[in-house]
Each structure stands twice: as structure tokens, then as C-alpha cells.
Chains A and B, each alone.
Chain A
Amino acid sequence: MSYQRSTPQRLELPEITGRGAHLLIWIYYVTISALALLALEDVHFPVIVYLSIGIFGAIWFTLTRDTRQRVGRGVAAFVIAASVVTTLLSSWNSTVGGFSQWYVGAGALVMFYLSLRGRDLEAWIGFSAIGVAFIAWGFTTDGRLAESIMVVARQAPIVLVGSLFSYGMSRTSKKLDGLHEADTARVAAEAAALARTAERSRRLASLDASVGLHLQRIADGAELTSNDRQELLMAEARLRDGLRARQLDLPEIAAAVQRARRRGATVLLLDDRYPLTLPTGALPRIIADAVRMLDSTADGRVTIRLLPAGRPLLATMVADGEDYTRVEIPALPS
């Protein structure tokens, strides 16, 4: 047995390049820029702060314009270079710590976003470059080296979280793909086995009810009267109906067919529609019309046929005896 193979949806985060993510990014940008501007008295030259804010605007603009799940290499290179340039420009500008050193945290958050966008290695290269640039500034100061190291270290968890998260998500995604394959095969095999059993059990029960006793009597070598033979022929015809007209194999129709055959009519049931099911609401009308026609036929020939799908008619019923009657059931509700 072959199974329909299905590809599961990958565990990806398309929303991080969506409008909601962009809105959050720009809210962050505006907030951090405002905090940087509020700390202007802690810097030597405000113009450097304005310039750095502008550069970060360009960084976020470039990142949000590239909406591919994995940021382009060129974009990543620009983002890293711009973050490092901002650090080099701004580090010597601040007179004290605090929000005047906002660009280190902002750079770390950019790297966090880069790692979520499939540029893990570049994110660490970028953060390391920012760290080296900032600590290099610390070396040039009197007593602010420890402060510079601490500032960089405090941002490391941000990049670490992004990196570990991306790795974990990719690993989980691969694992889920494997599980999905195995699961699908198992479920399909169980479904097939159960469907097979259900169909077999239903048909065998039906066979047992209709011809079980007859078969046993034949096997036992019982003497068959003409009545018995008549019943056997009825049962045989019923079995043939079941093969030729699966959707007409209903108790009401079967009973009416039997009555008609007993009266001497020849009945032919055909289902050329199967395996397509009948449209909603069609069956009761087919049953009613079929039973009516079968019960009103004394002799002659009755043919009840479900037509192939796509025809203007759903079913035709023809009684050809002393009178000729034809009933047509349209495919569309009249």
C-alpha cells in the first residue's frame, strides 16, 4: 500500500518580519533615541548622538526592508559595520555611564534580531566587534576599563538568548519532521487496517444474513424444493444488485425489488456514479421514486440507474411492461 505523503508546515517565525515586529522595533527605536537625547548632558558632543541615532535608524530601516526569513549577507554586513562604527564614534563621547552608552545595548538587540533572522554567526561576529571596540575605548580611559567590560557583559545574555533560541528552534523543527514522517506512516497503516477490517466485517455480516443459511443447506446436501430454488435465485439476484449498484443497496429498495421480482418483473439496478456519493438530499427522493415504480410494476422490465457524475440527470428509472414509464431525477434540485 502506498500512502499519500504530506509535508508538514515548518517551524518558522514569519511574524518576526511582519508588521507587528516592525512596529515593536520602531517603538524600541523611538524609546531608545528619546532616552539617548535625555542623556545629552552626559556627552561631550551632542552631534555624535544625533549621528548615532541616524545610523541606528538606517540599521533598523535596512533590516525591516529585508523581509526574507534569512537576512541577506550584504544587509548583515552593513548592520554589523554600522553598529561597530557607532560604537567607535560614540564610546569616547560619553562622560559617565547610563543611557549615554545606549548604543551598546542597541547594538546587542540588533545582533539578537540578526540571529533570529538566520544570521547566528554574523550576530556573534557583530557583537564581538562591538565589544572589542567598546573595551578598546575602556583601555584608553583612566579607570573606566572595568565599566566598559561590565557594559558589554551585561548585553551578552541578549545575544546568547537569540543564538540559543535559533539553534533550539531549528533542531526542534528537524526533529518534528522526522516524527511527522513516522507518525503519518503509522496512522495511515492503522487507518488502512481498520478500514479494511470494517469493510470486511460489514460485507461478511451482510452475506451471512442474506445467503448464509442457503449456503449451509447446499453444503449439507439438503433437498431443494422449487420454492427453495426460487429463493436462491432471488438471493443471487440480490447479490448481483449489490455488486452492480452499491448505493442502491438499501433495505427499502431491496425489499421493493424482491416484491417486483416475485411478481415476475425483471429488475436491473445500476450504479454508474460510484464511488462518488449522491448529493445531499437526493437519496430520499430516489428511494421514494424507485419504490413507487417497483411496486407499481406488475411484470416487464424495470431499470433503475444512477448516472455518472457530471450528467444533467442524477438517475433514470424506466418501467417497460404493459405501459412505458420513465422517471428522470435531475442532478440539480428542481
Chain B
Amino acid sequence: MNNAKRIPATARAELGVVRVMTAVLAPATMLFLALTIGSLREQSVFVMPHWQTTAAIAIFGTPLVLAAVSPWASLRQLKILHGTYAVIFSSIVLSWIPAFINGPMPTDAAPWTAGMTALSTVPAAIAWRPLVAWLYLIVSSLVIAPIRIIADGGADVSLAIQFAVFTITVCAAFTAVAIVAMGAGRKVDRATAAARASSARAAALTARAEEQAHLDALVHDEVIATIFAAAGAGRSDSESTRAQATRTIARLGQLHHATVSVPGLIQSDYLIQALATSIDEVTDAAQFVVTGERSQPIPSSVASALIEATVEALRNSVAHASVDSSPVQRIVALDLSANRVEITITDDGQGFGTERVMADRLGIAVSIIGRMNSLPGANASMWSRIGEGTRVTVGWQR
């Protein structure tokens, strides 16, 4: 079976890494602020009024806000916030050019915004793809050269260029660490999801085997014994046979109503894992594809019905779709969204015409469709044509 997209990662480790980097960014920024206070005082005469204050608040204040919201923000929100900070930082660095007045500055001084580029390149590495982050780093570092040249009136062009190159190499170390750490987080998330799926599968297989053994014993000791007593021994009218049948019906009824401690609601990642396990048990030659996401839980009764219907449809396909053992492609596609869960079971086998269909196949189709349609919010449909395959769709909407 295709494992490409079957295991959803929860991105917990990646989120943890981003939160660590967000938390580190805040004290680093404060340290830069402490080191820059002298420059802020000295350079206030070289920029337009209020630019300095606005720039300092944005550059040194935003990482504090990021650190404050980080424990509650999602990964996506944090990435957006880091990306926004990188853009704000660059805008401030560039806005220094029109804000610059009373130049040139002394040659031993440089605009304070040009000395802390790493504060923006790390957030860029958190927010964007590595290629974009590296491009951002190079451009942000190179732009320092013209800014320094403008600042000192071109007194030391060589030093300005040297400083830009130096900035690239130093910032590269932090960008590389950020990119590597994010990658490590994603790797851990994938491995964790795979391990969890494997544990779930093992637990499901064991539980199913135990339940089968239990039910086998019940069928053998109670149901068969009762029927045999009634038919084989011809004692249907005896009190003991009637009592045995009543006991058996009661036992089956108890089992039917007995609640296995299934939670009322389950997360969609569990539906994916349970579906993958069930598909594996029917055939190892079906492709399982998951698209979309869903954060809202699903009633376990619905999940159970969807899985049962999928297994039924797949078993039907395994039994009928192939002509002369020719290979048949089977795809189980699970589509998740905020208000809908839909599973489509498709094969490219021999198919069948609804006007001339074997009773068994129609029976299965009716049982799948009937069972699903009886669930509130659920639906099922079936399409098949001779030579073109079969498609069964089961879904639930909320």
C-alpha cells in the first residue's frame, strides 16, 4: 500500500522548535537593545524626528510580542508572525535611507539597524522555505553596503562591502541552524506519527483477534449448540431448547449493547490510521490517499460506519473486480474538510451494469448504501459500468 500520505504528522515537534527559537529571539533582541542604546542616542540627529523611536519599538518590541503569544499560537500563526517581522525589519532598514538627514555620519559609526541583520534572517528562516530564506539573507546583508556608503558619504566603500560580506557569513550560521532545527522537528513529527500509527495498528489487530476468538466461542458454544439442539436433535419444542435459544438471543443482545470504551468523538488522524489498518487487512494492493485536513473531531459511530463501509466495498472489489486474475488498481481516497468527511473507493476492474447484476453484488451495494444512508448526516452512492470499473462513495457531513 502506498504510505506516501497516509500518516498525518501533528507538527508538534516543529512547533516546539519554532517556540524555542521565538523564545531565544526575545532575550537576544534585548541584548542587542542594550548594546545599541548608545548608538540610538548618538544617531538621533541623523534621522528624521520620530523615525528612531518608531524603528526601535518595531525592531526591539516585536520579538517580545512574538515570545508572549508563542505558547498559544499555532505553527502557522507563528510562521506568519515571523515572516511579518522579517518584512517589518527590512522595511525599517530601507526606510533609514529616506529618513537620513544631516549626513554624513562619522566613519567609525554606522546606522544601528545595519548591525543586527541576524534578528531578521532567523525569523525569515522560520517563516519561509529555505531557498527564500537564503535569498532574503543575501539581499538583507548586501543592502547594508549601500546604506553604510550613504551614511559616511562614501568615505570607505571597501569597508562597507567587507561588512556586507561578513554579515552574510555570520548570519548564515544562524539561518543554517534555524533551517536544520525546523527540518529536525518535521522529521521527529513524521517519525512520531509513524510510530503512533504502528502502535495503533498493532493494538487494533490484537483487539480484533481477541474479539474474533470471543465471538467464535460464542457462535460455537451458544448459537450452533442451540440450532443443533433444535434441528439435529429435533427438540425444538422442548423447554430446555427454548430456554437455550432465549439465553442465546439475550447474550447476543447484551453484546450488541455492551459499550466497549470507545470515546464518543475521535480525531481525524485516528480515522486515517484505523482506515489504513482496515484496508491493509483486506488487501495489500490498494493505494490510500488522504487529502485535506480536519481539526474537528468525528463521532466514533460515524467513523466506525465509514470504515465498515470501506472494508465492505473493498472486499467486494477484491472478490469481483478482476477478470482472469488481471491486475486491478484500487484507490481509497479520504477527503477531509471542516464540514465533510468523504471516502471514495475506486477500482478499474470489470465493473458491472446495474441492469444485469449478480444478486450478491447488488446486495452488498444495497447494504453499504442502506447502512450509510440510515446514519444522520451520512450518505453513500455507487457507480459502476461494465469494463470501466466501480466507484463507491461514502461520506458524512457536519
Interface residues of A (CB under 8 A from B): 1-16, 20-21, 24, 27-28, 31-32, 35, 38, 97-99, 105, 109, 112-113, 116, 150, 153-154, 156-157, 160-161, 164-165, 168-169, 171-172, 175-176, 179-180, 183-184, 187-204, 207-208, 211, 214-216, 218-224, 228-230, 232-233, 235-236, 239-240, 242-243, 250-252, 255, 275, 277, 280-285, 287, 333
Contacts and interface: CB of A to CB of B under 8 A. Distances in A.
A13 B192 CA distance: 16
A12 B327 CA distance: 44
Contact of B170 (A109, A203, A219): A109
Contacts of A235: 227
B162 A99 contact: yes
Contacts of A20: 176
A203 B211 CA distance: 10
B226 A218 contact: yes
A229 B230 CA distance: 7
Contact of A99 (B166, B174, B192, B315): B166
- The 7 A-B pairs of least Cβ separation, nearest first, read A232-B231, A168-B20, A6-B195, A192-B207, A188-B203, A9-B191, A195-B204
A7 B325 contact: no
A13 B179 CA distance: 10
Instruction: Name the residue among B170, B241, B242, B303 with the largest chain A CB count within 10 angstroms.
Output: B170
A329 to B, nearest CB: 10
B199 interface: yes
Given A191-B204, A199-B212, A283 B184 contact: no
Q: Which size class do B's interface residues fall under?
A: 35 or more
16 contacts: A7-B195, A8-B191, A12-B184, A109-B173, A154-B35, A157-B35, A168-B21, A191-B201, A191-B204, A200-B260, A201-B308, A203-B212, A228-B236, A235-B227, A239-B227, A243-B220
A233 B249 CA distance: 18
B17 A28 contact: no
Contacts of A176: 12-13, 16, 188, 192
A280 B283 contact: yes
A219 B246 CA distance: 5
A153 B30 CA distance: 13
Contacts of B32: 157
B266 A164 contact: no
A137 B275 CA distance: 70
Interface string B172-200: 11101100110111011001100110111
B248 to A, nearest CB: 6
A203 to B, nearest CB: 5
Contact of A251 (B204, B255, B326, B364): B364
Contacts of B27: 160, 164
B129 interface: no
Contacts of B35: 150, 153-154, 157
Contacts of A220: 242
Interface string B238-249: 000110011011
Contacts of A165: 20-21, 24, 177, 181
Contacts of A32: 166, 169
Contacts of B224: 236, 239-240
A15 B246 contact: no
Nearest to B239: A221
Contact of A161 (B24, B187, B360): B24
B61 interface: no
Contacts of B31: 156-157, 160
B216 interface: yes
Given A13-B177, A195-B203, A228-B236, 9 more contacts: A6-B199, A12-B184, A168-B21, A214-B227, A218-B230, A232-B231, A255-B360, A284-B322, A285-B324
Nearest to A203: B215
B232 interface: yes
Contacts of B322: 281, 284
Interface string B357-376: 01010011000000000000
Interface of B: 12-13, 16-17, 19-21, 23-24, 27-28, 31-32, 35, 108, 158-159, 162, 165-166, 168-170, 172-174, 176-177, 180-181, 183-185, 187-188, 191-192, 195-196, 198-212, 215-216, 219-220, 223-224, 226-228, 230-232, 234, 236-237, 241-242, 245-246, 248-249, 252, 255-256, 260-263, 266, 270, 273-274, 277-278, 281-285, 300, 303-304, 307-308, 315, 318-328, 358, 360, 363-364
A42 to B, nearest CB: 11
Contact of B28 (A109, A161, A277, A333): A161
B360 to A, nearest CB: 4
Contacts of A16: 176-177, 180
Contacts of A219: 242, 245-246, 249
A199 B227 contact: no
Contacts of A156: 31
A21 B31 CA distance: 26
B304 A194 contact: yes
A251 B308 CA distance: 17
Contacts of B228: 236
Given A31-B169, A190-B262, A207-B223, A200 B211 contact: yes
A255 B323 CA distance: 21
B282 A277 contact: yes
A188 B162 contact: no
Contact of B273 (A11, A28, A154, A191): A191
A223 to B, nearest CB: 7
B284 A277 contact: yes
B249 A8 contact: no
Given A99-B162, A200-B215, A255-B360, A11 B170 contact: no
Contact of A200 (B165, B220, B226, B255): B255
A16 B165 CA distance: 22
Contacts of B202: 3-4, 188
Contact of A283 (B231, B256, B319): B319
B219 to A, nearest CB: 6
Contacts of A228: 231, 236
Instruction: Name the residue among A116, A164, A228, A235 with the largest chain B CB count within 10 angstroms.
Output: A164
Contacts of A13: 177, 180-181, 184
A22 B319 CA distance: 57
Contacts of B169: 27-28, 31-32
